[in-house]
Every structure is written in C-alpha cells, then in structure tokens.
Amino acid sequence: PRSIYLTRHGQSEYNSMQRLGGDSPLTEKGQKYAAALADFFEKEPVDGLRVWCSQKVRAAQTAQQLKNSAFHTEYWKALDEIDAGICEGLTYEDIQQRYPNQAEDRARDKYHYRYPSGESYEDVVSRLEPVIMELERQANVLVVSHQAVLRCILAYFYDLPLSGLPYIETPLHSLVKLTPRAYHCDSTVYTYDF
Ligand code: G3H
C-alpha cells in the first residue's frame, strides 16, 4: 500500500516569536527537525517518494536535507500557508489590540472568516483541490507545508466536518503517515521533541 506523509516545516523564526505568516528561515530547533526528517526517510522503506513542498523558505529548508537524490522535489504555491493579509507578521495579541473586530469575527466562524487582503480556510480548501486530486492519484508522497494547509488535507482524508477543520491539532515537529484503505485511512504520528 502507498502512503502519504504530511508535515509542517520545522520551527521558523516567526514561530518562535509567535508571529503569523511571513517568510522567515528555520531556527536551530527547526533545522534539527529537518535533520530528523531526513533521517526518518533514510530508514523508512519507501519506493519512489515524491516530495511536495510549499514555496516558503521554512518549508524548503525543511525538505532540503532529504538526501536521497531519487526523491523528486516539487514546489507548489498551492501549498503555501493561509495568507493572513493585513495580519501577516502580527501576533494574536497584536491582532486583538489593533483589529479587535477581526479577532471577534474570526472566533465566530473561523472556517469562513477571510483576513482582509488575505484568505479564509474555505479559500485554502478550494486552492488545494488540484493538490488533493493529484495526491489521490500518486504513489508515495511527502507533503512539507504549513498548519492551515495540513488541517485542510487531514480533514479531507479523515472525512472530518468543515466547522472543526480550523481547530485540528497539528503540532510542529510531527510527521503524520496516512495509508489510505478502502473506507478509511490508517494513520501513525511520529513526534520529535525539540
Ligand atoms: O499562520 C497561520 C497559522 O498556521 C494558522 O493558525 O488558523 O489557528 O490561526 P490559525
């Protein structure tokens, strides 16, 4: 059976400052996770793995240490993190202070809420449609992407309701292995403690 592996990028500088979005590089901890991921795939018996990565620096750096040159890597813009528009680079506290009405609207309906000049989860789900169609057709794929995007992909494969999608737990430094079966997906989560 084939498997789909899903991971967020390693910890980025913005993650460590609790800032949203941006395009910052990995921290030292994030680099350690990138090394652990490469080590995992040196040991995992997986044929012809394809690596699909977002176009953000933190995701590319996370995929960079996968040494096996047989792994073919593609960079998909559709895998980039939800665009937080006017809230990019802010912390949740900043948003609360500067745009309290936005924070309130988002808390009321997180799935449909669209950041001004940015995206909603609903928007992310629709831009992921081609990625999910390809994931359905392909053999072994590792997706290196971001929290909001992984939530959308997990909700699809686990068949979860959309209202709960924006709250799915997707911690940093964990790798999810999904193996689609006839009517469900088997899953294993590997967690690294850096
Ligand atoms: O930067 C965006 C986060 O990864 C998504 O988290 O939708 O829970 O705010 P949130």
Cα–Cα distance for residue pair 37/33, rounded to 1 Å: 6
Q: What is the pLDDT of residue 70?
A: 66
- The answer to whether 73 and 51 have CB atoms below 8 angstroms apart is yes
Q: What is the pLDDT of residue 71?
A: 83
Tokens 């620096």 -> residue: 57
Q: What is the pLDDT of residue 194?
A: 83
Cα–Cα distance for residue pair 177/41, rounded to 1 Å: 12
Q: If you measure from the C-alpha of residue 138 to the centroid of ligand 1, how many angstroms do you get, rounded to a whole number?
A: 28
Q: What is the pLDDT of residue 26?
A: 98
Q: What is the pLDDT of residue 45?
A: 87
Q: If you measure from the C-alpha of residue 147 to the centroid of ligand 1, how many angstroms do you get, rounded to a whole number?
A: 6
Q: Beta partners for 96?
A: none
Q: What is the pLDDT of residue 138?
A: 81
- From 82, 95, 152, the mutation candidate for ligand 1 (largest count of ligand atoms within 8 A of CB) is 82
This complex has an ipTM of 0.88
Residues with CB under 6 A from ligand 1: 20-21, 81-82, 84, 146-148, 166
Read off the DSSP letter of residue 12: B
Q: Active-site residue 81, yes or no?
A: yes
Q: What is the pLDDT of residue 68?
A: 67
Q: What is the pLDDT of residue 183?
A: 86
Cβ neighbours of residue 69 closer than 8 Å, sequence gap 6 or more? none
108-127 pLDDT, tens digit each: 999 999 999 999 999 999 99
Structure-token pair, residue 44: 């995992």
Q: What is the reported pTM?
A: 0.95
Label the pairing between strands 72-75 and 185-191: unpaired
Q: What is the pLDDT of residue 69?
A: 61
- Regions of the chain with pLDDT less than 70: 68-70
